[in-house]
Amino acid sequence: MPNGIFSLEGKVALVTGANSGIGRELALALRDAGAKVAIGARRAERNAEVLEQLGPEASAFELDVSDEQSVEKAIAGVAGRYKRLDILINNAGAVNKKSVMELDRSAWDHVMAVNVTGAFLCTKHAARLMKEQGGGKIVNISSVYGLTAPSKGLQVAYTASKHAVIGLTKVNAVELAEYGIQVNAIAPGFFLTEMTADIGGSPMERALIRRTPSGRLGETKDLVGTCIYLVSEASNHVTGMCIAVDGGYVVSDGMERG
């Protein structure tokens, strides 16, 4: 168990969208760092599987982040069981890859509801609890497409939503700083997860590897260190920042390396 400023002993964390991929990896890492972990996601069976991995001190809540009543219920459930909430990871996400000329309004609204409104609602209700406690940590999962845009466009709703998540991070960091609440974001690069499984073995995967200075796609474990830093005492004077974990993708000029 880690000691010192990176320890999460005595802390309580809620991770949304934690029954697969990045969310599950981060939930397990928070537990390993000493936190009691609650997960929130829509699929009860998948929640149960991750809950079994997390152990007896963990809990799971069926959570639709786009529904304010569902958010209130989940956060009240966390407070009821653990009497506090120190860490919120806004990880739940949705994606749609259609052209701006073909994207239905309903599909646009769904991506925005999950990626932006969901982070807003969870922050709203978690921050109220954190304010009463005298502090807390909120980490929003954005994307490199919150800092750039796809080379061929297409992911219009996803890209706009992930830019919005960074804006939400900044404005909430400023407002909540006086209450001892730090709000930061992580922008993952390209990771092979359930959501991006179609990339595996494709020409796009090969192009991404050529484009990324590290010469590889990310593994979910690559996000753990940044997350633990942002939710621990080590980052108490860091707020409103977005850290890209992308193997250098964003800072590269995009030219293929010889």
Question: CB neighbours of 242 closer than 8 A, spacing ≥ 6?
Answer: 142, 146, 147, 166, 169, 184, 185, 186, 187
Q: Does residue 258 have a pLDDT over 70?
A: no
The pLDDT assigned to 1 comes to: 43
The domain at 4-245 falls in which architecture?
3-Layer(aba) Sandwich (3.40)
Using the predicted structure, report yes or no on whether residue 6 has a pLDDT greater than 80.
Answer: yes
Q: Where are the domains of the chain?
A: 4-245
For the cut 60, the answer to whether the pLDDT of residue 2 exceeds it is no
Please identify which of the residues 145, 158, 229, 249 carries the catalytic annotation.
158
Catalytic residue check, 179: no
H helix or E strand, kind and range, residue 61: strand 59-62
Q: Give the percent of the chain with pLDDT over 90.
A: 84
Q: What is the pLDDT of residue 257?
A: 66
What pLDDT sits at residue 44?
85
Judged against a pLDDT cut of 50, whether residue 244 lies above it is answered with yes
